[in-house]
Amino acid sequence: MGSMKSLAQGFLVATGLIWVCNIASLFRGGDVWLGLMYLLILLIPATSIAYLKLKIPHQKSVSDEAEKWRNLLFSFQGVALGFWMFDIITTFYAIDVTGIAIELNPLGWPLGILGAFAYYGPTLVFSYVLLFKIKESVSLYAAIPLTLLTLGMGTMNLVAGAQNFQVFVSTASLAAGVRYELLALIVTVNLTVPLALKRMVAQSKTRLCLNA
C-alpha cells in the first residue's frame, strides 16, 4: 500500500503542477473564461485536501530513513507518469480534435503511445522490485539513476505536452451561451464539497466516540 500511495502522490503532484501552468497559459494568451473555469475546478480538490488535512489528525508512521527514500524515489515514477498522460491528452487534442498537428514519432499516432509504454511499464515494475522487494542498500542506490532517467523521459513528455497545449490555448474558447451557467455550476460544487466533507468528518468523529 505504501508504494501505491507514493505513486499516486507523485502523479497528483505532477497533475497539480501542470494544471497551475495551464491556468497561467490560458490567462496569459488564451480564453480568460477557460482559465477561470480551470482555476475554479482546481479549487475543488485543493480546498478538499486542505480541509481534510486540518480536520483529520495526522497519524505519524514510524519508518526508517531508507523507507522514506524508497517512497520518495517511487513517487517520482508517478510524476513521470503524470507528465506522460499530459502529453497523451494534449496530443489527442492537437491531432484528433483540431487536425492541425502531426505526430513526429516514427510509429505515428496513436501507436507512439506503445513506444512510451514499452519504457515506462518495465521501468515501473523494475523500480518497484528494487525499492520494495529487494530492500537492500545496493538496490536503493541502483534505483537512483533509473529514477533520474525516468524523470528525464517524463520531462521530454512534459515539454511535448506543453507545446501541444499551446494549440489548445490558441484554438479553444468557451461558448458565450454557457459561460455563466457553467460558472454557477462549478461555484456550486466548490461550495457543496466542503459542506459534504464537513458532514462526513463530523459523522466519522461521532462513530468513533460511540465505539469508544
Per-residue pLDDT of the chain (212 residues), as tens digits, is 578 889 999 999 999 999 999 999 999 999 999 999 999 999 988 888 887 777 766 655 546 788 888 999 999 999 999 999 999 999 999 998 988 877 777 777 878 888 889 999 999 999 999 999 887 888 889 999 999 999 999 999 999 999 999 999 999 988 888 899 999 999 999 889 888 887 887 777 676 665 65
**CB burial of residue 163 (10 Å; 0-12, 13-18, 19+):** middle
Tell me the pTM.
0.84
Taking the C-alpha atoms of residue 88 and residue 83, their distance in angstroms, rounded to an integer, is 9
DSSP 30: S
Kindly calculate the radius of gyration of the chain based on its CA atoms and give it in whole angstroms: 21
